[in-house]
Amino acid sequence: MPELCVGERRWAVPTGSNLLDALNEVGLNVPYSCRAGSCHACLVHCLAGQPLDALPEALALDKHAQGWRLACQCRVVEDLQVALFDPRRDGVPARISGLDWFGDVLRLRLKPERALRYQAGQHVVLWLGDVARPYSLASLPGEDDQLEFHIDCRRPGAFCDKARGLQVDDEMRLGELRGGALHYDPDWQERPLWLLAAGTGLAPLWGILREALRQGHRGEIRVLHVARGQAGHYLAEPLRKLPGVNVELVLEEQMDEALAGLRPSSRQTVALLCGAPGSVERFARRLFIAGVPRGQVFADVFVEHV
């Protein structure tokens, strides 16, 4: 059986063992959220030996070449020496510069120790002590030196429970920055742009929307935001202040009726969808029925964190 080595610890595991499970079974507490190679919370550094990696393309080429791997996607097939991601050593320090509550939604603003290069629609892994979760950036690059995140704390969870006790000037750490499925393409400037979000799925679309306006988008822009209650429309006022943007705020029980009314004015319409799996599936189904080609629909599904 191959041996795993982390620091001074060394133990044998069955060939083909999932690396994340093998690490956590001995109490090393590697964080994870999705187990699908999407959240990047389970990042580890392979110092010697190579695991069998089912999803090497999930990491940037330079990161992969340096030996970083997503533990959830790796199987142990030979002796392997691993260093766990240490946010104090490997993460970027950031101070909390703003905390605003809108019902159960926390708008968190962070000022990193060094500037973070990113694009609207990307995700960052946030570390609170030993708990890590990925969140979409709601801020706009170049707008200011702060990063903004919208965190749904409606349900209890390891990260959300800690987030409720945060105070301005507390320190957090930033982990892996990665591209999501959502972005703004300058080639879309003349085309209708629809942004459909449920809950805090609005976060990345808020950044992308302002990026589109900054780049002088000339086509129709439509935003549809679905929330459980009125308080869930936490960006209602800022959205309505944006020039030339058609905003529709919909309660969850009105969702089917609102989606049935979607009538794209052009087959060139581009749609960006974000939210929980069920909501994104309903958005996508309606757009298909309405005639928006699948290749013009981009979706980012939020995994529920515990």
pLDDT of 246 above 70? yes
Range of the domain at 44: 3-85
- Summarised one tens digit per residue, pLDDT across range 124-151 is 999 998 888 889 999 999 888 899 999 9
Same domain for 67 and 141, yes or no, is no
According to the model, what pLDDT value does residue 305 have? 54
Q: What is the CATH number of the domain that holds 80?
A: 3.10.20.30
pLDDT tens-digit profile of 273-300? Answer: 999 999 999 999 999 999 999 999 999 9
Residue 190 shares a structural domain with residue 278: yes
Whether the per-residue pLDDT at 45 is higher than 90: the answer is: yes
pLDDT at residue 234, rounded to an integer:
96
What is the average pLDDT score of the chain?
93
Whether residue 174 lies inside any domain: the answer is yes
Q: How far does Cα 176 stand from its chain's mean position?
A: 11
Give how far Cα 208 sits from Cα of 14, 25, 187, Å.
46, 40, 14
Q: Which of 178, 198, 218 is the last residue of a domain?
A: 178
Q: Average of pLDDT values for 228-236?
A: 94
pLDDT for 15-35, tens place per residue? Answer: 999 999 999 999 998 888 778
In a domain, 227, yes or no: yes
Do 204 and 136 touch, CB atoms closer than 8 A? yes
Q: Residue 216 domain-assigned?
A: yes
The answer, yes or no, to whether residue 179 has pLDDT greater than 80, is no
Q: CATH code at 171?
A: 2.40.30.10
Residue type for position 93:
P
Boundary residue ending a domain (34, 65, 85): 85
Residues 290 and 199 both lie in one domain: yes
Q: Domain end: 158, 178, 198, which one?
A: 178
**89: Cβ–Cβ under 8 A, 6 or more apart, which residues?**
none
Question: C-alpha distances in angstroms, 203 versus 4, 232, 287, 293, 301?
Answer: 39, 12, 21, 25, 12
Domains of the chain: total? 3
**Percent of the chain whose predicted confidence (pLDDT) is above 70:** 99
Identify the band that residue 306 occupies on the pLDDT scale cut at 50, 70 and 90. low
CATH code of residue 261: 3.40.50.80
Instruction: Tell me the average pLDDT across 181-206.
Output: 96
C-alpha to C-alpha distance for 27 and 21, rounded to whole angstroms: 10
Q: Is residue 306 part of a domain?
A: no
Residue 116 counted as domain residue: yes
pTM of the model: 0.88
Whether residues 201 and 224 fall in one domain:
yes
Does residue 158 sit within a domain?
yes
Report yes or no on 212 lying in a domain.
Answer: yes
Same-domain status, 97 and 77: no
* pLDDT given at position 35: 83
* pLDDT grade for 304, boundaries at 50, 70 and 90: low
